[in-house]
Amino acid sequence: MNSLPLTPQIEAIARRVVWFESPPQSTADTIRFVAYAMTYGDDADMREIRRYLSDDDLREALERAPPGIFDPRSWAYWNLKLGRYPTPPMPERVIPEN
């Protein structure tokens, strides 16, 4: 996965889609940041992100997405858009048994 430069545009996206962290903190983990952007960003946000990331990078973000970020609609949309059909199950949290 390529990393994203912290340009003013990426910083603005980070402030909106990962509002609870600073932009440098939220963009440090590119896969996690892209998962948030795919879920909460708009078309303009993703056009900006796609200036730096390939479709393969976005597929990797789907493949390695942390559980709890994607909603079902965004998950279905991005998997279809990136040719992952049929859509695989969403990432799930695993709670260890005691």
Rounded CA separation 26/2 (Å): 15
Signed CA dihedral, 54, 7, 19, 43: sign only? negative
Signed CA dihedral, 68, 65, 82, 79: sign only? negative
Rounded CA separation 52/59 (Å): 14
Q: What is the pTM of this model?
A: 0.92
Would you kindly state where each structural domain of the chain is located, as residue ranges?
8-81
From the CB of residue 94, how many other CB atoms can be counted at a distance below 10 Å? Answer: 7
CB 3 within 8 A of CB 30: yes
pLDDT tens, the chain, 98 aa long? 888 999 999 999 999 999 999 999 999 999 999 999 999 999 999 999 999 999 999 999 999 999 999 999 999 999 999 999 999 999 998 888 87
Which residue type is seen at 6?
A: L
